[in-house]
Amino acid sequence: MMKTKKRSSEPKRLALVASRGTLDWAYSPFILASTAAAMEMEVAMFFTFYGLTLLKKKIEAKVAPHANPAMPMRIPFGPQGLQNIQWPVPNLLSTNLPGFETVATSLMKQAFRKNGVATVEELRDICLESGVRLIGCTMTMDVFGINKDDFIEGVELGGAATFLEYAADADIQLFI
Amino acid sequence: MTKIQEDQFLDCRGLNCPLPILKTSKVISDMRKGEIVKMVSTDQGSISDVDAFTRRTGHKLLDSEAGDGEYIFYIRKV
């Protein structure tokens, strides 16, 4: 990629595309963006396709066990012996059992909380407070019928060119 | 080591990545230049993360110690 030479005194820039909407994929972009801001970098996040749901006032992201065949499941409570077992989740079970996603999501959230991991909403708040630009993809909004009113305050709207204009001068570009 | 007198104490025990770095960054941003924060963490990633954070931001990692599953860092704001 052609890049314009930047002065060393300018802050490093991170440009990040968030394209997934499940809970396991929601964490990475917000962890990286909030940490980059803490490390005094400039950050812009472009939310497109299912990533757009991460801008909604209430994030309803769930884990999708049947899309993650390697995902181990652990029970985050009870006797230590029980907690240490990695329960295999057969695809047949995870796709057909009603409410399985909800159970898996609840277990994962409990495991996160127990391990002192922030919630996705907390990380998103930190991003906003740190001046991270959150850009919603207008094309996907039109396709999915999502309005700006569905989003939290402070979200910018834009298309591919808006993101690329920023990314062209970025030191790090990530697609998640 | 010589005892370093901290101006701020930040308890990040029980918190996992990226919270120790996010909280440290927040505390430092509210401190005056030259002041020192003592941060305690139980996240083993902190050893590498605090090192990377201070090198990137220019704040000075004065000292660090580890023991009993706890990691202690003294960082001076520049």
Phi, psi of A14 (to 5 degrees): -115, 130
Contacts with A117 from chain B: Cβ below 8 Å? 16-17, 19
Are A35 and B21 within 8 A, CB to CB?
Answer: yes
Residue A92 pLDDT > 60, yes or no? no
**How high is the pLDDT of residue A69?**
62
List the single best residue of A32, A39, A128, A132 to mutate versus B (max B Cβ within 10 A): A39
Are B57 and A118 within 8 A, CB to CB?
Answer: no
Question: At A93, is the pLDDT very low, low, confident or very high (cuts 50, 70, 90)?
Answer: low
Which of A140, A164, A166 minimizes the C-alpha distance to A52? A140
Q: Which residue of A has its CA nearest to B27?
A: A38
Which of B63, B53, B57 minimizes the C-alpha distance to B1? B63
Q: Which pair of tokens denotes residue A87?
A: 């329960």
Q: Please tell me if residue B19 touches chain A, with a CB cutoff of 8 Å.
A: yes
Which of A17, A12, A132, A73 minimizes the C-alpha distance to B55? A12
Give the pLDDT mean for B53-77: 96
Contact A46, A165 (CB under 8 A): no
Catalytic residue flag (residue B12): no
Question: A170 vs A66, which has greater pLDDT?
Answer: A170
What pTM did the predictor assign?
Answer: 0.86
Give the pLDDT mean for B27-54: 97
Which of A59, A62, A61, A63 minimizes the C-alpha distance to A72? A63
Contacts with A40 from chain B: Cβ below 8 Å? 56-57
**How high is the pLDDT of residue A85?**
76
Rounded distance, CA A167 to CA A16, Å? 8
Among residues B4, B13, B16, B17, which one is catalytic? B17
Residues A43-57: pLDDT tens digits? 999 999 999 999 999
